[in-house]
Amino acid sequence: MLGRAIPEPDREVIRDAITDGAIRHLLHEEDPRLRNFRLCNACGSCTPYCPARINDPGANGDPGYLARKVTAALQAGRRPGLDLADCVQCYSCETVCPRSVSIGGIINAVYETERLQPVFRRMLLDRGGLPPQAFLPLYTGRGRFRKFIVKAVRHPYPVDGRAIDEVRRLLLHPVDASAFSAPGHPAQRRPLARPDRVFHLNSCCAFNYPGADLSQKTILAALGVRYETSPMQTCCGGAPHYMGGAGFADRLLLTARNLSVIRDAFEPGGEIAVTGICPTCSDSYAAALDMLSLKGNREVVNEALARIGREVNDPGAFTVANVLDLYPLYLEELRRLVETRLTGLAVGVHVSCHYRKMNGSLAVPPGLQDLAAVTGARITRSVMEHYCCGGVKNLFDRHRKGRPGELSRLNRLVRQDFMNHRLDVMVVDCPGCELVYDHMGVPVLHITELLALAMGADPRETIRIQGHMTSLSGEIGRIGIL
């Protein structure tokens, strides 16, 4: 009797019971992402803004389909009856909700309980971030593995062993998300002034496009902006968090620890601008600074950081200087630095979801378009500016399932739009978006790479175009740069 297999229907009941129990525990713990879920009244405001259309307004005639299904299930103490893996974590729903209900955050919290990716957490503990091998599954296929090897040899993940030890000691004693209080309405961001010195963040995703990181440093040097880095810096936790490998508290503690590292690189008392090429990093730091603005949250964070001899007591000293906020302050200088106007290049622009999430607005900000225009490239405006690229999470899911070429609806939409407009290159502000476009066969450049090209940087030595999956040689060669 004991050796008999459990019938499949019973297995499903058992799995659902376990998951429902985990959801009830999650609600009991009062994760800050779930604290306003009862405010959802199915008004439907978020419905037309979901790029993945998992809140299809045609389903059951309910205009608040996704929001209502998710929140109603949680209010009943059970899991939502939806495939939450389709959510691309763009947070468009949170941005437009009139009651500030974070459907994206709620889904992220539930997704963690259902499909936690222990491999990403192990990488945080073993390497302090997502090392090159985290991206190896994306490099299967002819010619791609060689590109991976070249990048892994030339651009290993630069983290000091002491930093990895600190991360390990920090994360091996988890903090419950319920220990933190939601700050309510985010504090208004202080206008960014032109800094003469910044801290340059290392992005995990930049492994795939080292040219974006090299271009950023080239531009900062040309503008006369000094930049600091530190081998003690680790992953901000953003990418592992959105892919289900790091919880809410993990991400906050990792980012807070990095703020302490950054503070060590500057004199006491001064303001510090934190920049980098990744909007997910920018979002992580902006969200952490918002949480740390509350004294109670700082006390919880510092109690954990004390185990590794660190603390963060001056969140107001930091400013997040995303490239789309920083470089527009230097438009005239950038125009003078352009050596080759890219007039023969037809480009489209795609602003990342996480940059817009950080700003709390779905409006397409002018920064990316203004910066692309500096190069002389011909910009074509289109609907794809308003869409999510399809998401790195979706890209990893497809490769894990052995169907890398099975493009999502979003992938197909933006690729078709690219072809319809007969563009040469897509320009993005996010190395994650760059990865997604590159894997769907669309020539793509990070905005730092486009600017560096126009400033005379070598396409191979600085931009590293040879590492892209989709060749850029034809487009760049046609305008006489290569």
- Nearest in space to 470 (alpha carbons), one of 421, 418, 393, 420: 418
Residue 336 pLDDT grade (very low, low, confident, very high; cuts 50, 70, 90)? very high
Same domain, 319 and 355: no
Same domain, 24 and 161: no
The position carrying tokens 């405006």 is 381
The pLDDT of residue 64 is 47
Question: Helix, strand, coil proportions of the chain in percent (round to 5)?
Answer: 55, 5, 40
Better pLDDT: 333 or 365: 333
Of 71-80, 128-137, 383-392, 418-427, highest mean pLDDT: 418-427
| DSSP state for residue 339 in the 8-state scheme | S
- Judge whether residue 80 has pLDDT over 90: no
Better pLDDT: 393 or 316: 316
φ, ψ (nearest 5 deg) of residue 117:
-95, 90
| DSSP state for residue 72 in the 8-state scheme | H
The pLDDT of residue 390 is 81
Better pLDDT: 106 or 296: 296
Same domain, 358 and 471: yes
Least confident of 77-81, 133-137, 390-394: 77-81
Q: What DSSP letter does each residue of 381-422 carry, written as one string?
A: --GGGGS----HHHHHHHHHTT-TT---HHHHHHHHHHHHTT
Same domain, 460 and 367: yes
CATH of the domain at 382: 3.40.50.11810
Same domain, 277 and 173: yes
| Residue 259 amino acid letter | L
Residue 28 pLDDT grade (very low, low, confident, very high; cuts 50, 70, 90)? low
Q: Residues of the chain with pLDDT > 90: what percent?
A: 41
Tens digit of pLDDT for each residue in 221-243? 999 999 999 999 999 988 888 87
Better pLDDT: 409 or 127: 127
pTM across the whole model: 0.86
- Judge whether residue 359 has pLDDT over 60: yes
For range 253-264, the mean pLDDT: 95
The pLDDT of residue 364 is 74
Same domain, 103 and 123: no
Tens digit of pLDDT for each residue in 116-160? 556 777 888 888 888 888 888 888 876 788 899 988 888 777 788
Least confident of 146-155, 330-339, 449-458: 146-155
CA distance linking residue 103 with residue 91, whole number of Å: 8
Where does 134-206 have alpha helices with state H?
144-154, 161-171
The pLDDT of residue 428 is 94
The pLDDT of residue 101 is 79
Better pLDDT: 329 or 384: 329
Please provide the size of the chain in residues: 482
The position carrying tokens 């592992």 is 240
Where among 299, 325, 351 does a domain terminate? 325
- 84: containing domain: 8-115
Look at residue 330 and tell me if it is in a domain: no
Number of domains in the chain: 3
Q: Residues of the chain with pLDDT > 70: what percent?
A: 85
Same domain, 183 and 65: no
CA distance linking residue 390 with residue 52, whole number of Å: 8
The pLDDT of residue 56 is 55
Look at residue 212 and tell me if it is in a domain: yes
Better pLDDT: 152 or 329: 329
For range 356-384, the mean pLDDT: 86
Least confident of 129-138, 176-185, 278-287, 353-362: 176-185
Residues 265 and 311 sit within 8 Å (Cβ to Cβ): no
Where among 73, 97, 115 does a domain terminate? 115
- Judge whether residue 182 has pLDDT over 90: no
Question: What are the Cα distances from residue 413, in Å, to 53, 384, 416, 417?
Answer: 12, 8, 5, 6
The pLDDT of residue 14 is 46
The pLDDT of residue 189 is 67
The pLDDT of residue 233 is 93
Residues 94 and 362 sit within 8 Å (Cβ to Cβ): no
For range 159-168, the mean pLDDT: 91
Structure tokens at 31: 């994760």
- Judge whether residue 326 has pLDDT over 90: yes
The pLDDT of residue 385 is 74
Same domain, 194 and 49: no
- Rg of the chain over Cα atoms, rounded to whole angstroms, equals 22
- Nearest in space to 385 (alpha carbons), one of 369, 408, 361, 407: 369
CA distance linking residue 464 with residue 432, whole number of Å: 17
How many of the other CB atoms lie within 10 Å of CB of 449? Answer: 31
Same domain, 31 and 124: no
Same domain, 109 and 160: no
CATH of the domain at 236: 1.20.1050.140
